[in-house]
Amino acid sequence: MELTVFLVRCGVYLLALLLSYYGLQALDYEKLLRPGHVTEARLLYALLMITLAYGVGSFVLSFLYRF
């Protein structure tokens, strides 16, 4: 039973990560960043993607395990 719960949680978070990556593609964040700071921009993008995925995954899992 624990393995099933682990796999479902991993699947939900992975799907949320992919969806957040896809969703963030719509933003033109290059206008907000300073030129020449490519490394910082990539780090910020990755952190935003992970944060959004965690929030969405936690939201979905809270509804999934409530019933």
Q: For the chain, what are the domain ranges?
A: 2-64
Q: What is the pLDDT of residues 33-56, one digit of tens each?
A: 888 888 888 999 999 999 999 999
Alpha carbon 25 to chain centroid, angstroms: 12
Tell whether the model's pLDDT for residue 14 goes beyond 70.
yes
Q: Percent of the chain beyond pLDDT 70?
A: 97
Tell whether the model's pLDDT for residue 64 goes beyond 70.
yes
pTM score: 0.82
Tell whether the model's pLDDT for residue 67 goes beyond 80.
no
Q: Where are the beta strands (DSSP E) in 1-67?
A: none
Instruction: Report the distance separating Cα 67 and Cα 57, nearest Å.
Output: 16
Q: What angle do CA 47, 52, 54 make, to 5 degrees?
A: 95
Sign for the CA dihedral angle at 38, 42, 48, 51 comes to negative
End-to-end CA distance of the chain: 16
